[in-house]
Amino acid sequence: MGNSPSNSFSELKKVASQVAPTEEDLRRLYVLYDQNGDGMLQRAEANVLFSEALAFTQEQIKKKFSPDTAASLCQTINREKNLLVQQIFQDSDLNRDATISFTEFCRVIQRLRSCS
């Protein structure tokens, strides 16, 4: 509860960079974004997490693509970020209770990692 955004983003980058994050790593990340401490990610909390994941993706794009291609891809991500975050939330919330449980969180992380 009450973690600073920079600490959360640093932890997100650390976990996302791992080849195979452990359940403990994922739990620690989940708890960092669960700002109200209720054990579930509310839409606003999940939006912060997914927005920061997209920011991390942009960092990786800048490292792996030419400057022109990276600029174009990042511009597209920025333009469509709200739609992307909304879609990730909807795809993650399997039981449609308007929250992301830890199990749902692990599933979406696994799916996102399989795309990289």
What's the structural domain count of the chain? 1
Q: The whole model's pTM is what?
A: 0.74
Q: How many CB atoms lie within 10 A of CB 109?
A: 19
- The percentage of residues in the chain with a pLDDT greater than 90, rounded to a whole number, is 46
How far apart, in Å, are the Cα atoms of 4 and each of 10, 21, 56?
Answer: 10, 22, 17
Q: Encode pLDDT of 3-20 as tens digits.
A: 555 678 788 777 777 767
Those residues whose C-beta lies under 8 Å from the C-beta of residue 18, and which sit 6 or more positions away, are 25
- We report the CATH number of the domain holding residue 69 as 1.10.238.10
Domain that holds residue 64: 5-114
